[in-house]
């Protein structure tokens, strides 16, 4: 494996190497994988440093579009597609919905997935915005706490997408199931994510970028500064189709320092931010294509 100059990015390559060299071969619901169980990475977000992987181009605007979709409580593929984001298309297809027993869903409807749980935890599905049952707005509650010096050091600032009561109504049960926010020294905000299942070839770089960006956004919105993103993975797997492309890149990886992120302007409400409010500076990456197909 090539020596990786970006020491934080080297954590990702170390995980890839561990899976390829030690992983158990398993037949899963959507393909054969090599997998290991249990992994942790940590990334420094201070000064707005954001871990966008540099061994290949990260489609960061697509990543942030999905994040905004979560923040706004949206669950429909059409909203994403209108903004050029197609990473959920396969999970909203007629065939995939039918395979989940969701024949009554219109194509492109995903059920009470991340956005619903973040903003309307356990509200009845289909969700009626005029109903008295709005569920629990977990994200708003966290923001309220982070903005209050007397609450921001709470050890209970947790947002969960894993709702056992509604899992069977979701096109895809959540992979990144729970995150916790933590403030030290009065204003340094960190986030820890637990992810039950991670597609290391394609999904994991997105997940790292997304929750790091969320932490940077919440820090700006709540008058704090970003500190760390800590990433815990349960089942970390690589699909067999992705092994050779990853192995080739690992042998000759060209990494660079991570870019910086800042928020263009403060919005009154968290769901008023858009992708254009995220300014990314100094993102340089290996321009050679690394071709892997997403497996739904």
Indicate which residues carry an active-site annotation.
175
Contact between 115 and 70 (Cβ < 8 Å): yes
Both tokens assigned to 116: 């619903």
Helices (H), 171-295: 203-221, 240-251
Contact between 90 and 150 (Cβ < 8 Å): no
Supply the DSSP symbol for 109: B
With 0-12 / 13-18 / 19 or more C-beta atoms within 10 angstroms meaning exposed / middle / buried, residue 61 is middle
Q: Is the dihedral of CA 49, 52, 57, 59 positive or negative?
A: negative
C-alpha 236/C-alpha 37 separation (Å) is 6
Q: C-alpha distances in angstroms, 201 versus 146, 238, 248, 283?
A: 34, 6, 13, 20
Q: Chain-centre distance of CA 89, in angstroms? A: 17
Contact between 46 and 226 (Cβ < 8 Å): yes
With 0-12 / 13-18 / 19 or more C-beta atoms within 10 angstroms meaning exposed / middle / buried, residue 67 is buried
Contact between 159 and 194 (Cβ < 8 Å): no
């Amino acid at each position: 494996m090539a020596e990786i100059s970006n020491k934080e990015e080297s954590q990702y390559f170390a995980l890839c190497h561990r899976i390829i060299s030690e992983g158990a071969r398993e037949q899963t619901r959507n393909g054969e994988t090599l997998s290991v169980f249990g992994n942790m990475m940590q990334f420094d977000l201070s000064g707005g440093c954001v871990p966008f992987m540099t061994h290949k181009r990260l489609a960061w605007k697509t990543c942030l579009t999905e994040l905004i979709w979560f923040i706004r409580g949206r669950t429909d593929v059409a909203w994403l597609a209108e903004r050029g984001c197609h990473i959920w298309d396969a999970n909203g297809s007629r065939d995939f919905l039918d395979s989940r027993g969701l024949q009554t869903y219109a194509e492109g409807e995903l059920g009470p997935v991340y956005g619903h749980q973040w903003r309307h935890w356990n509200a009845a599905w289909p969700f009626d915005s005029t109903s008295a049952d709005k569920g629990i707005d977990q994200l708003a509650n966290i923001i309220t706490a982070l903005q209050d010096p007397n609450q921001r050091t709470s050890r209970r600032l947790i947002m969960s997408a894993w709702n056992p009561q509604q899992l069977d109504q979701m096109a895809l049960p959540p992979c990144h199931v729970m995150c916790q926010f933590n403030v030290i020294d009065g204003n340094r905000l960190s986030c820890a994510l637990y992810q039950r299942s991670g597609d290391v070839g394609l999904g994991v770089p997105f997940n790292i970028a997304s929750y790091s960006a969320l932490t940077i956004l919440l820090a700006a919105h709540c008058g704090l500064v970003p500190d760390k993103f800590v990433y815990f993975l349960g089942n970390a797997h690589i699909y067999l189709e992705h092994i050779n492309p990853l192995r080739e890149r690992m042998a000759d990886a060209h990494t660079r320092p991570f870019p910086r992120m800042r928020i263009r302007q403060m919005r009154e409400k968290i769901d008023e931010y858009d992708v254009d409010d995220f300014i990314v500076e100094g993102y340089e990456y290996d321009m050679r294509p690394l071709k892997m197909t997403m497996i739904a």
